[in-house]
Amino acid sequence: MTEERTVIVLAAGEGKRMKSATPKVLHPMLGRTLVGHVLAAATAVRPDRRVVVVSRDAKSLTDHLATVAPDAVAVVQEEQLGTGHAVRVAVESAGIVAGTVVVAFSDTPLLRPETFAGLVEAHETAGAAVTILTAVVDEPFGLGRILRNADGEVEAIVEERDATPDQRAIKEINAGVYAFDAALLNPALGKLTTQNAQGEEYLTDVIGVLVDSGRIVQAYPAADQAEALGCNDRVQLSALRAILRDRVNTAWQLAGVTIVDPATTWIDVTVDLSPDAVIEPNTHLRGQTSVGSGAVVGPDVSLIDTTVGENAHVVRAHAVGSVIGPRVNVGPYASLRPGTILREGSKAGTFVEMKNADVGARTKVPHLSYVGDATIGEESNIAAANVFANYDGKNKNRSVIGDHVHTGVDNTFVAPVTVGDGAYIAAGSVIDKDVPPGALGVARAQQRNVEGWVKRRRAGSKAAQAAEAAESQATSSGDDPATPTTRGNTSDE
């Protein structure tokens, strides 16, 4: 029978070196906060309960926990008296008396789920009093060192400030994750003192207490020394982000995704990609974004909580909360705002902005248009410089454009308005009344030319000189300068 398991995450530190109004453990890193990464990885041990130790002024952290780990219990450490004190507060508050207790710090976001699982398995298999996650690092400065006896058995952990010069030369460090036997942890916590450089109760001193009592104390080495890295300032946060970026990108490449330039590609851990997707340089995929097989995303694309269908192509675009269907083309320089749905084979082209718009299959919005709060049917064409005027100053209203509709250049649709299937809209029209199916909608003033206006009002200007030259040339050739050259159709029918 599996022992009861508890995960305790220590998150009461102030994080002053971040120099931020945001608590250190709430700083984001590729789709999760620092504490979010630790909590997610720790679920690999299938805990019966999760406890997070927080400080008195931790409302933002407890609010965050309610969102990302609603089962986790927040326990307040009223005074920061050390890591040992924090664990004692958690154990007493949660009433933990038996089973395995896993303790981890909240600022080590590179810990892997398989590391947590392996640590607990090794601990329970050996029947150990404590199993310590360790790592051998090139630069151990500032980290607790693992002290071993002549037989290689773990004797103690010594903190940097309390270590001798010889001990500081040791490169095996404490990674800050432990699996304890709860029945032995509780009395050991009661024996902690503050006789150290910090004047605090060190959790690491529990190791010496358990060794002295003759219990099994063992180390479990991390597969990757990066898992031991913590975060104390923004420089370290940036370094951890880069490591996680490379880890995520490598995993996707091995899963069959093409990432052209991993150094400029940032993919949140919450993103899902299908084999044969292609991610071009300088692309950011965030939140609950997914990309289908054969889709090409990038270069210069940011997608947040956006779905991209199979064989779609998105280039130099920004999308939030949108659905880009199969074989859709987006960009360059397109902006898709929340609620946008582009159905199969449609297009949102150059300098197109959409918001809360449902665009039908194979419908094209090629360039220079704003489509807001609109439903557009299948196989319609929205010409350049179309604007959906959806806001009347109080309410957002919706426009409906039917199937096989052809709009003209520089149309404005004043919502609420409906354009029926198969209708055409004349260029330059402002449509504020419904257009029946198959009709031509025309809403523009009659053109009027005021002859001689430039000569009278802009006498001596370059425009006047050009006009006089054109009149003179027309007179010498026998043409009537007042009759313009006809280009295209002269009527709307």
Give 365-421 as a DSSP string: EEES-EEEEEEE-TT-B--TT-EEE-B-SS-B--EEE-TT-BPPTT-EEESSEEE-T
Amino acid 484: pLDDT: 55
- CA–CA dist 179, 189 (Å, integer): 14
- Write the Ramachandran bin of 53: left for phi over 0, alpha for psi from -120 to 50, otherwise beta: beta
Give the pLDDT of residue 475.
87
Task: Give the chain's residues under pLDDT 50.
Answer: 1, 486-493
Compute the half-sphere exposure of residue 123: CA atoms within 13 Å on the CB side of its CA.
Answer: 30
Q: What is the pLDDT of residues 27-74, one digit of tens each?
A: 999 999 999 999 999 999 999 999 999 998 889 999 999 999 999 999
Q: Which helix (H) or strand (E) holds 84?
A: helix 83-94
Domains located in the chain, CATH noted: 5-228 (3.90.550.10), 234-441 (2.160.10.10)
Its sign, for the CA torsion 471, 472, 477, 478, is positive
**Neighbouring C-beta atoms of residue 187, cutoff 10 Å:** 12
Q: How far apart are CA 374 and CA 144, in angstroms?
A: 60
The confidence score (pLDDT) of residue 126 equals: 96
Catalytic residue status for 367: yes
Token reading at 51: 């406890």
Report the alpha-carbon distance of residue 156 to residue 489 in Å, rounded. Answer: 91
Q: What is the DSSP letter of 70?
A: T
Task: State pTM to two decimals.
Answer: 0.90
Distance CA 81, CA 158 (A): 18
Contact (CB, 8 A) for 455 and 466? no
**Of the residues 85, 284, 367, 406, which is catalytic?**
367
pLDDT single digits (tens) 146-192: 999 998 999 999 989 899 999 999 999 999 999 999 999 999 999 99
In sequence order, what DSSP letters do the residues of 426-487 get, joined into one string?
Answer: -TT-EE-S-B-TTPEE---PPP---TTHHHHHSTTSHHHHHHHHHHHHHHHHT--TTSPPP-
* Interior angle at CA 94, CA 92 and CA 95, nearest 5: 60
Residue with tokens 């052209």: 260
Spatial separation of the C-alpha atoms in residues 328 and 342, rounded to whole Å: 7
- Determine if the peptide bond prior to 299 is cis (ω within 30°): yes
